[in-house]
Amino acid sequence: MTEPRDTHFGYRTVDLDAKQGMVDDVFRSVARRYDLMNDLMSGGLHRAWKDALVTAVNPPRDDHPFALVDVAGGTGDVAFRTVAAGGAATRVTVCDINHEMLAVGRERAIARGLDQAVTFVDGNAEALPFPDKSFDAYTIAFGIRNVPRIEVALAEAHRVLRIGGRFLCLEFSTVDVPGLDTLYDLYSFNVIPALGRSVTGDAEAYRYLVESIRRFPRPEGFAAMIGAAGFRRVSAQSLTGGIVAMHSGWRL
């Protein structure tokens, strides 16, 4: 008899194969207010974190071709920043499994006149619809913890990167400042679901997002997973007292 494959949906334990559908439901319900909620929840800090991510991507500012895939980046935040930072030959492919998030991103790209530089593709992080060695960089911002099989997604990231390509991941982490950790927990479990209810009408979706952060591996544990996927020179940089970490690895 086969053992059930379980994962944690927030603090609930669910069958691994059911998690993707539950995550899809969460983001489907909040897609139109997702970026507003990011501003409200982080006090605008998510913008600085994403700017730091794009600085690490470091797209060439000349006419040298550069291809980035941004996974789980449906609304286009990282993509638009990368195109603005890079030269005329910088191109970004946004890959997201959620149709509603992609629709928001496409609308935003057209409004900014960036629909030639940014392409939106419906795809699963665990089975990317791209050939081997297609991209110079891979980014995923606040999305890896929602992937049911993180190790599979990391292997896919390694597969689609060219030799010398870089994997970069922003994810919520473990607060490492005494006192801030208690305040952060109080804010996360009380204020954020209330904001979700007020702005999107869905407190439960944001309760899940908060709980999923607590289930994500600590930086050293996630670094080990990145290394196991074949990446080298793996590192993690703590941001804002450990609220967020930026993880990096190279395909060498």
pLDDT tens-digit series, residues 134-146 = 999 999 999 998 8
Query: Tokens at residue 61, please?
Result: 């500012």
> What is the structure's pLDDT at 200?
66
Determine the average pLDDT of the residues in 40-67.
91
Determine the average pLDDT of the residues in 111-129.
96
Model confidence at 198: pLDDT above 80: no
Binning pLDDT at 50, 70 and 90, where does residue 132 land? very high
Residues 90-100 pLDDT 10s: 999 999 998 88
Percent pLDDT > 90 in the chain is 57
Model confidence at 108: pLDDT above 50: yes
Residue 46 or residue 70, greater confidence: 70
Distance CA 95, CA 17 (A): 20
Binning pLDDT at 50, 70 and 90, where does residue 196 land? low
Q: Output the pTM of the full model.
A: 0.83
Binning pLDDT at 50, 70 and 90, where does residue 39 land? low
Residue 187 or residue 81, greater confidence: 81
Model confidence at 17: pLDDT above 90: no
> What is the structure's pLDDT at 28?
56
Percent pLDDT > 70 in the chain is 81
Hey, what CATH class is 26-250 in? alpha beta
Residue 32 or residue 139, greater confidence: 139
> What is the structure's pLDDT at 3?
34
> What is the structure's pLDDT at 152?
98
Residues 143-158 pLDDT 10s: 998 899 999 999 999 9
> What is the structure's pLDDT at 10?
41
Model confidence at 79: pLDDT above 90: yes
3-state SS record for the chain: CCCCCEEEECCEEEEHHHHHHHHHHHHHHHHHHHHHHHHHHHCCHHHHHHHHHHHHHCCCCCCCCEEEEEECCCCCHHHHHHHHHCCCCEEEEEEECCHHHHHHHHHHHHHHCCCCCEEEEECECCECCCCCCCEEEEEEECCHHHCCCHHHHHHHHHHHEEEEEEEEEEEECCCCCCCHHHHHHHHHHHHHHHHHHHHHCCHHHHHHHHHHHHHCCCHHHHHHHHHHCCCEEEEEEEEHHHCEEEEEEECC
Query: Tokens at residue 236, please?
Result: 């993690």
Contact 22, 224 (CB under 8 A): no
